[in-house]
Amino acid sequence: MKLLYQLNAAFTALLVIIMSVTAFFIYSLLLDILIQDQQDELQTNGNLILNFLYEDPSGRGKLNRLIESNDYKILIMDPDENSPLATNLPESTARSWASEFETKDEQKGLRKMNGDNYVVSKLGYRFQGQEYLLILATPLEELQAIQSVFAVRMMIVFVIGIGITILFSYLLTKRLVTPLSRLKREVKKIENRQFSDIKRINASGEIGEVEQSVMDMAKELDQYIRSQKHFFQNASHELKTPLMTIQGYAEGVKDGVFEGDAADRSLDLIVKESDRLKKIVNEIILLAKLDSEDGIYNPDYMDAGQLLEETKERMYFLATENGVSLKVTVEDNQQLYVDEEKMLQALINIVGNGIRHAKSVVSLRAYAETSQFVLEIEDDGEGVPEDLLPQLFHRFVKGKEGETGLGLAISRAIVERSQGTIHVSNREQGGAVFRLQFPLGSHKQADL
Q: What is the DSSP string of 226-238?
A: HHHHHHHHHHHHH
CB burial string 69-105: b at 16+ within 10 A, e below = eeebbbbbbebeeeebbbbbbeeeebbebbeebeeee
Residues forming CATH 1.10.287.130 domain(s) in the chain = 205-292
**Residues linked to residue 252 through DSSP beta bridges, in sequence order:** none
Residues forming CATH 3.30.450.20 domain(s) in the chain = 3-146
- Answer yes or no: are the C-beta atoms of 402 and 409 closer than 8 Å: no
Q: How far apart are CA 232 and CA 253, in angstroms?
A: 31
Q: How far apart are CA 373 and CA 441, in angstroms?
A: 10
CA-CA-CA-CA torsion for 29, 30, 33, 35, nearest 10 degrees?
Answer: -110
Amino acid found at 202: N
Fold (topology level) of 205-292: Helix Hairpins (1.10.287)
- Answer yes or no: are the C-beta atoms of 57 and 79 closer than 8 Å: no
**Mapping DSSP to helix (H, G, I), strand (E, B) and coil, where does residue 320 land?**
helix
Domain 300-445: CATH architecture, name and number where available: 2-Layer Sandwich (3.30)
**Mapping DSSP to helix (H, G, I), strand (E, B) and coil, where does residue 92 land?**
helix
For residue 429, the 8-state DSSP code is T
Taking the alpha carbons at both ends of the chain, their separation in whole angstroms is 66
Q: How far apart are CA 140 and CA 120, in angstroms?
A: 10
**Mapping DSSP to helix (H, G, I), strand (E, B) and coil, where does residue 333 land?**
coil
Q: What pLDDT, on the 0 to 100 scale, is given for residue 378?
A: 92
Q: How far apart are CA 435 and CA 329, in angstroms?
A: 14
- Selecting from 3.40.50.2020, 3.30.450.20, 3.30.360.10, 3.40.35.10, what CATH number does the domain 3-146 have? 3.30.450.20
For residue 117, give Cα distances in angstroms to 107, 120, 140, 342.
16, 9, 5, 94
For residue 195, the 8-state DSSP code is G
CA angle 14, 18, 20 (to 5 degrees): 115
* φ, ψ dihedrals at 446, nearest 5°: -90, 160
In what helix (H) or strand (E) does residue 314 lie, and over which residues does it extend?
helix 304-314
Q: What pLDDT, on the 0 to 100 scale, is given for residue 145?
A: 83
- Answer yes or no: are the C-beta atoms of 443 and 336 closer than 8 Å: yes
For residue 329, the 8-state DSSP code is E
Q: How many CA atoms lie within 13 A of 199 on its CB side?
A: 5
- Answer yes or no: are the C-beta atoms of 422 and 436 closer than 8 Å: yes
CA angle 177, 21, 141 (to 5 degrees): 145
* Cα torsion angle, 93, 99, 101, 104, sign: positive
Q: How far apart are CA 182 and CA 206, in angstroms?
A: 15
Residues forming CATH 3.30.565.10 domain(s) in the chain = 300-445
Measured from the Cβ of residue 393, the count of other Cβ atoms closer than 10 Å reads 20
* Cα torsion angle, 220, 222, 225, 231, sign: negative
* Residue-by-residue pLDDT tens, the chain, 448 positions: 566 667 777 777 888 888 888 888 887 788 788 888 888 888 888 887 777 777 666 556 666 666 666 677 887 877 777 777 777 777 777 777 777 765 544 455 677 766 678 888 887 777 767 777 888 888 888 777 887 888 888 888 888 888 888 887 777 777 777 777 777 888 888 878 777 787 877 777 777 788 788 888 888 787 777 767 766 666 666 677 678 888 888 888 888 877 778 888 888 888 888 887 787 777 777 777 776 666 677 888 888 889 999 999 988 898 898 899 999 998 888 888 888 888 898 898 899 888 988 889 999 999 988 788 999 999 988 888 887 777 777 766 666 655 666 778 888 888 888 888 999 898 888 888 999 999 875 444 444 4
* φ, ψ dihedrals at 194, nearest 5°: -95, 65
Q: What pLDDT, on the 0 to 100 scale, is given for residue 106?
A: 46
